[in-house]
Structure 1
Amino acid sequence: MRAAVVDRYGTPDVVRISEVARPAARADEVLVRVKAVAVTSADSRIRGARFPTGFSLFARLAFGVLRPRRTILGSSFSGEVVAVGTRVRDVAPGDEVCGMTGLKLGAHAEYVAVPAKKLARKPSAVPHEDAAGLLFGGSTALFFLRDKASVGPGMSVLVNGASGAVGTTAVQLAKHFGATVTGVTSTANAGLVADLGAARVIDYTRTDLAGIADRFDVVLDAVGNLSIAAGRRLLNPQGVLLLAVAGLGDTVRARGDVVAGPAPERVEGFEFLLRLAAVGAITVVIDQVYPLQDIAEAHRRVDSGRKVGNIVVRP
């Protein structure tokens, strides 16, 4: 099969298309023909060995000290089942599924083998591209807003980085849960963020968050440029600061009204997001869709910092 291989750390130019052995489904796994897969900020960080402050040593130990241990990146995917393991009972060839592969990665390829328990059925109303784009940022937004901050009616939510993969879904989820949303983004993306449900949009190129008088019940930083001190200054007395992107120092110090750390990959969360997308309650924002052979360009787009929503590749 064809796959995007990264056998050394570096710029997007290190990503190359190669023929590799097709994986086989183990007893509890499903082999999926990948129809669409996201290229995320996590893929970019791993490829370039650019990890959040303080995490470099741990990340190198996990992903490879001198070169990538997992040479095929990619986690958030959607596709069609082509084979199942001997212990799999509730999934069959021909089923359309989606999911995330976690630290195993491997989805930037024509086929990927995934434990059946990590898969969600893809609704027919949701295109493969939307499913692949939704899960990475969507599961992060859902975990922080619903599971950690219990966002609900009457609450005020600030989303810093409202036009990214996490932010575009976070704005919509917070609005869906009944909150009044303020989105922080650039001039070019202000209209999009308003259309997604933000009652107010702050243009960070013109307004410094440190100078605004507003205070919020929830502040979600999807960028990583808010310190704990700066984020706390934006909170109401009972507010909570959610750091979806944080260095080691802020992650260790996160307690009380500050939440940080990785979001779990839960099938229940995938299914919740997919149901919303299927009925049009969430719009999956896709910046560009690339063929697999142009995946280096997809990495460049992610690296540019100018992508809006999600980058998706079709193997």
Structure 2
Amino acid sequence: MKAVVYKKYGSPDVLQVKEVEKPIPKDNEVLLKVHAAEVTKADCEMRSFNFQVKWFWLPLRVVLGIIKPKRQVLGGYFAGEVESVGKEVSKFKKGDQVFGTTQLRLGAYGEYVCLPATYTLVPKPSNVSFEEAAAVPLGGLNALHFMRKANIQNGEKVLINGAGGSIGTFGLQIAKAMGAEVTAVDSTIKEEMLRRIGADHFFDYTKEDFTKSGQTYDVIFSMVANTSYSKCVKALNPKGRYVMANPHISDMLRSVLTSKFTDKTAIFVFAGEKEEELLALKEMIEEGKIKSIVDRVYSFEQAAEAHRRVETEQRLGTVVISAEHNNQS
């Protein structure tokens, strides 16, 4: 089978299309034909070994490979079809259309991947394409997790910092579905897209610091690692919640003090990517409450270009790599 492989850390040019052995499912596994996979910022960070949050550098290097990558096919979030199942698997059958996560196994940049049937895999929403479905699990699971943690109430004011990324676009839509008034923070090129999916207000971070605007919020949800902790907490209303998706260690420590000694709460509990959450997202998509925003779809041969698109932050939504697109090119 074909797969996008990287045998050393480096620039997007280390990504190459190679023939690799097609996996065979174990008794408790499912063999999946991958139709589309999201190209994530985490994929780019693993490829280059340059992470936005630096504190877990050493353990990650041990897990991912000290000298070269142990798992040479990236891809953690995908949509596809069940090709076959192991003899112990009763949850899935050949032909089932699914979407979900490969967790630390990765491998979704290949035509096929084997995963335990216990992983977060659920039926694909019936009203979207494989490419649109592949764009859901990363952003949707994280956004739903954090928006639930924020306990958003109808009518509350929510600000999303980094609203134009995978997590932010879902966070915005989920917050709106919960009845919030939402302010989006990102670059000007993303304003029209963010307003189209529900943003009530917009800040261009390259021109204005939202923490200096005089506005205050019930919830601030930030994906941006270098956001000022103290400024965000000050921009909260009484009983406000500051939700961090990419916290520094210092922010984690300060969050304990904020939550214990003030009337505000700081939250950084990482998403568990649970089946129940993905099923909830599937239902919201089928009901038309939320949708994935696909920026561009690339073929396997265009993987390096897809990574550059993600790294330059010029994308207007999610970047997807598709084996189907590869076959049609």
TM-score where L is the length of structure 1:
0.96
1:73 equivalent in structure 2: 74
1:111 equivalent in structure 2: 112
How far apart, in 1, do the equivalents of 2:252 and 2:25 lie? 36
Question: Which of 292, 302, 309 does residue 301 from structure 1 map onto?
Answer: 309
Give how far 1:251 is off. 3.5
Q: Tell me the SS of whatever aligns to 2:118.
A: helix
User: Which one is further off, 224-233 or 294-303?
Assistant: 224-233
Q: 1:11 to 1:252 in 2, by over 3 A?
A: farther
Q: 1:249 to 1:53 in 2, by over 3 A?
A: farther
1:125 equivalent in structure 2: 127
1:245-260 alignment, distance < 5 Å: 245-255=246-256, 256=259, 257-260=265-268
Q: 1:180 to 1:98 in 2, by over 3 A?
A: same
Give how far 1:261 is off. 4.7
Q: 1:93 to 1:252 in 2, by over 3 A?
A: farther
How far apart, in 1, do the equivalents of 2:144 and 2:200 lie? 20
1:1-315 alignment, distance < 5 Å: 1-51=1-51, 52-118=53-119, 119-146=121-148, 148-255=149-256, 256=259, 257-315=265-323
How far apart, in 2, do the equivalents of 1:96 and 1:36 lie? 12
Unaligned runs of 5+ in 1: none
How far apart, in 1, do the equivalents of 2:270 and 2:47 lie? 19
What amino acid sits opposite 2:317 in the alignment?
G
Give how far 1:168 is off. 0.8
Q: Tell me the SS of whatever aligns to 2:136.
A: helix
Aligned partners of 2:193 and 2:316 also within 8 Å: no
How far apart, in 2, do the equivalents of 1:287 and 1:186 lie? 15
How far apart, in 2, do the equivalents of 1:86 and 1:152 lie? 46
What amino acid sits opposite 2:145 in the alignment?
F
- Deviations for 1:113-153, whole angstroms, at most 9, x for unmatched residues? 1122221011221211111101111111111111x111121
- Deviations for 1:205-248, whole angstroms, at most 9, x for unmatched residues? 22112311111111110222313212212211211111112233
Size of the aligned set, in residue pairs, is 314
How far apart, in 1, do the equivalents of 2:107 and 2:76 lie? 7
Aligned partners of 1:228 and 1:258 also within 8 Å: no
User: Which one is further off, 2-11 or 242-251?
Assistant: 242-251
How far apart, in 1, do the equivalents of 2:245 and 2:317 lie? 16
How far apart, in 2, do the equivalents of 1:101 and 1:212 lie? 41
What amino acid sits opposite 2:117 in the alignment?
A
Aligned partners of 1:55 and 1:247 also within 8 Å: no
What amino acid sits opposite 1:49 in the alignment?
F
Give the superposed CA RMSD: 1.3
What amino acid sits opposite 1:266 in the alignment?
K
What amino acid sits opposite 2:141 in the alignment?
S
Unaligned runs of 5+ in 2: 260-264, 324-329
| Percent identity of paired positions between Structure 1 and Structure 2 | 39
How far apart, in 2, do the equivalents of 1:210 and 1:177 lie? 24
Aligned partners of 2:161 and 2:221 also within 8 Å: yes
How far apart, in 2, do the equivalents of 1:285 and 1:75 lie? 18
Give how far 1:189 is off. 1.5
TM-score where L is the length of structure 2:
0.92
Q: Tell me the SS of whatever aligns to 2:135.
A: helix
User: Which one is further off, 91-100 or 264-273?
Assistant: 264-273
